[in-house]
Amino acid sequence: MGLPGSVVWDSALLGYDLGGEHPLHPIRLDLTMRLAATLGVLDGVELLVPQEATDAEIERIHDAGYLAAVREAPMAGWDVGHGLGTSDNPVFDNMHEASARVVGSSLLAARQIASGATKRAVGIAGGLHHAMRDHAHGFCVYNDLAVAISWLLDNGYERIAYLDTDVHHGDGVQAAFYDDPRVLTISLHQNPLTLFPGTGFADETGGPNAPGSAVNVPLPPNTGDGAWLRAFHAVVPSLLAEFRPQLLVSQCGVDTHHEDPLASLSLSVDGHRAIYRTVRTLAEQYAGGNWLAAGGGGYALLRVVPRSWTHLIATVLDRDVAAGTTLPSEWTRFVDKIAPTAELPLTMSDGRSVDFEPWDGEDGERVDSVIKEVRRAVFPLHGLDPDDPRD
Ligand SMILES: [Zn+2]
């Protein structure tokens, strides 16, 4: 029997390297693929090798003038504009080519699903959700998932749900489809008053032609696994049941982890694993089983990202890794070689419970004020009752 999912990967994707001390270091991708392989998750899996996306493909979302600036930036010296050459988005060699390959990764995943070759596809290099039409933003040059969604809309899909569980607001994808009723974007993130990019409030609900097509769940700092999952379940399944997407696209940033150096939510690897399993179930229930998964943020490079995204890949392939699985010594020895002072965890778990009490319509927990605010902002636009927990 074939596997339920495909994995897109090529070591050339490590070329998206913002250099030096930049937090988005490609080692996180390399260590993830090594850990997944060492645990046997990739046994018998033929990795699909992406090409660089063409200009025409990237220009589905981005301005031609911006592409020209990205292409020329490594030769241009300073002041190239378009958000390039900043500390967040430094210019690097082959920036266009490396960024186009990330777009190619998510496009290949989309094509695999659209062709019927697979129901699910995952590419952890994708998920650069902040990139805007004419500028780089938040470590992101080209918006691979927006390009993939745009391509899908021209290739047989009329209703696509985008689910963003990165700690930062999925602003670039939201902006690309804010007034498009064919795309429902849902982002759960740390409250934008306390974190980049400063958008993603509950009252951002879509443009005049697409009321309710954007959903934002701004969670207070220190939100942990239980409260995060309580909010997710109080908002997301109802909207998917009503919207009936043909495909679920998920950005799976893991900078929600309590050890992440750039943000202040308090999830665990166990919470991440629970999220992926939930998203898989929702794809089966409401999206015909079609699930395109990408990576995203995540800056605890050694201790968190490889474990969390190995769980992601395993979940896509129905090869779930038990939380208590010991980290293989072959992998920890490799990490020790490149980072001798790192203290590595022992297992694929942080030992946290992911139990939570479902929201019951009352104000029982701190996160419930956010749940009510979000539901009241957006549920009526979908014909749902914001105050009835059965909706
Ligand atoms: Zn992020």
Give counts: helices (H), strands (E), the chain.
11, 7
Report CA(255)–ligand 1 centroid distance (Å): 6
User: What pLDDT does residue 331 have?
Assistant: 98
Q: What is the pTM of this model?
A: 0.98
User: What pLDDT does residue 20 have?
Assistant: 85
φ, ψ of residue 163 to 5 degrees: the values are -120, 120
DSSP, residue by residue, 278-309: HHHHHHHHHSTT-EEEE------TTTTHHHHH
User: What pLDDT does residue 315 have?
Assistant: 98
Exposure on the CB side of residue 211, measured as CA atoms within 13 A: 8
Residue 339's identity, in one-letter code, is A
Closest CA to 58 of 68, 45, 46: 68
Report CA(166)–ligand 1 centroid distance (Å): 5
DSSP, residue by residue, 93-123: TTHHHHHHHHHHHHHHHHHHHHTTS-SEEEE
d(CA 172, CA 151): 16
User: What pLDDT does residue 354 have?
Assistant: 97
Report CA(150)–ligand 1 centroid distance (Å): 22
Residue 130 annotated to the active site? yes
Two structure tokens written together for 157:
């899909």
User: What pLDDT does residue 274 have?
Assistant: 98
Strand pairing partners for 233? none
User: What pLDDT does residue 363 have?
Assistant: 86
Report CA(253)–ligand 1 centroid distance (Å): 6
Closest CA to 125 of 150, 97, 101: 101
Residues with CB under 5 A from ligand 1 (ion): 166, 168, 253, 255, 297
**Selected catalytic residue, list 25, 130, 137, 189:** 130
Strand pairing partners for 217? 188
φ, ψ of residue 305 to 5 degrees: the values are -55, -50
Report CA(337)–ligand 1 centroid distance (Å): 28
User: What pLDDT does residue 1 have?
Assistant: 52
Exposure on the CB side of residue 10, measured as CA atoms within 13 A: 18
Report CA(378)–ligand 1 centroid distance (Å): 24
Q: What secondary structure letter does DSSP report for 359?
A: P
Tens digit of each residue's pLDDT, the chain (391 residues): 578 999 999 999 999 999 989 999 999 999 999 999 999 999 999 999 999 999 999 999 999 999 999 999 999 866 789 999 999 999 999 999 999 999 999 999 999 999 999 999 999 999 999 999 999 999 999 999 999 999 999 999 999 999 999 999 999 999 999 999 999 999 999 999 999 999 999 999 999 999 999 999 999 999 999 999 999 999 999 999 999 999 999 999 999 999 999 999 999 999 999 999 999 999 999 999 999 999 999 999 999 999 999 999 999 999 999 999 999 999 999 999 999 999 999 999 999 999 999 999 988 899 999 999 999 999 999 999 999 999 9
